[in-house]
Amino acid sequence: MRHGIPTGRVIVDPTRCPNAAGRRTTVVTRLATLGVMDDSATWTRAAGSDGAGWPAPYPGRALHATVEVPGSKSESNRALVLAALSDGPSTLSGLLDARDTRLMAAALRSLGTTVETTGSTCRVTPGPLHAATRPIDCGLAGTVMRFVPPVAALAGGCSSFTGDERAGERPLAPLLEGLRQLGACIDADAVPFTLDAGTGLKGGTVRIDASSSSQFVSGLMLAGARFERGLDIVHVGSAVPSAPHIAMTIDMAARHGVRIETLETGHHWRVHSGVITARDDRIEPDLTNAAVFLAAGVLTGGTVSIAGWPRRSTQPGAVIGSVLARMGATVIEAPDGLGASAVSLRGARLDLHEASELTPVAAALAVAAHGSTTITGVGHIRGHETDRIKAIVTELNRLGVPAGELPDGLTITGMAGHLDRLHPSEGDGLFACHADHRMAHLGALMGLVIPGVRLDDVGCTSKTMPDFTRRWDTMAGTR
Q: Given this model, what pLDDT does residue 248 score?
A: 97
Question: What distance in Å separates the CA atoms of residue 262 and residue 244, rounded to the nearest whole number?
Answer: 14
- For the four alpha carbons of 36, 124, 104 and 202, in that order, the dihedral sign comes to negative
Instruction: Flag whether 313 is in a domain.
Output: yes
Number of CB atoms found within 10 A of residue 312's CB: 6
| Distance, CA of 456 to CA of 117 (rounded, Å) | 31
On whether both 264 and 391 belong to a single domain, the answer is no
Tell me: do 290 and 199 sit in the same domain. no
Q: Using 50, 70 and 90 to split pLDDT, how confident is the model at 334?
A: confident
The answer to whether 142 is a known ligand-binding residue is yes
182 and 110 in one domain? yes
Number of domains in the chain: 2
Residues 65 and 77 both lie in one domain: no
Indicate the DSSP class of residue 71: B
Q: Does residue 93 have a pLDDT over 90?
A: yes
CA-CA-CA-CA torsion sign (184, 190, 191, 193): negative
Query: Is 279 labelled as part of a ligand binding site?
Result: no
Tens of pLDDT, residue by residue over 226-266, are 999 999 999 998 889 888 999 999 999 999 999 999 997 88
Q: Does residue 439 share a domain with residue 355?
A: yes
Q: Do 60 and 92 fall within a single domain?
A: no
- Specify the pLDDT at position 38: 30
Mean pLDDT (whole number) for 212-218: 96
Sign of CA dihedral 262, 267, 272, 275: positive
Q: Is 420 helix (H, G, I), strand (E, B) or coil?
A: helix
Per-residue model confidence as pLDDT tens digits over 282-333: 999 999 999 999 999 999 999 999 999 999 999 999 999 999 999 999 999 9
Are 322 and 453 members of one domain?
Answer: yes
The radius of gyration computed from the CA coordinates of the chain, to the nearest angstrom, equals: 22
Residue 239: per-residue pLDDT: 87
State yes or no: 357 annotated in a binding site.
yes
Q: Do 203 and 307 sit in the same domain of this protein?
A: no
CATH code, domain with 64: 3.65.10.10
Residues 175 and 317 in one domain: no
Statement to judge: residues 446 and 361 lie in one domain: yes
What integer pLDDT is reported at residue 336 of this predicted model? 82
Give the model confidence (pLDDT) of 175-197 as tens digits: 999 999 999 999 999 999 999 99
CB 461 within 8 A of CB 440: yes
Q: Quote the crossing angle between the two packed helices 142-155 and 99-110, to the nearest 10°.
A: 10
Residue 214 shares a structural domain with residue 296:
no
Whether the CB-CB separation of 305 and 337 falls below 8 Å is answered with yes
Q: Among 269, 301, 334, where does a domain finish? A: 269
Same domain, 375 and 465: yes
Range of the domain at 77: 73-269
Over range 392-398, report the average pLDDT: 97
pLDDT at 26: 38
- 9 assigned to some structural domain: no
Q: Which of 242, 269, 296 is the last residue of a domain?
A: 269
Boundary residue ending a domain (223, 243, 269): 269
In this structure, the strands spanning 281-282 and 90-93 are: parallel
Q: Is 242 annotated as a binding residue?
A: yes
Beta strand ranges found along 105-263 (DSSP E) = 114-118, 121-125, 136-137, 158-162, 185-186, 193-196, 204-208, 231-235, 260-262
315 labelled as ligand-binding?
no
pLDDT at residue number 3: 32
Asked if the model's pLDDT at residue 73 lies above 80, the reply is yes
Residues annotated catalytic, as ranges: 357
Residues in the chain: 479
- Residue 438 marked in a binding site: yes
Task: Decide if 138 contacts 144 (C-beta within 8 A).
Answer: yes
Given a cut of 80, whether residue 362 has pLDDT beyond it is yes
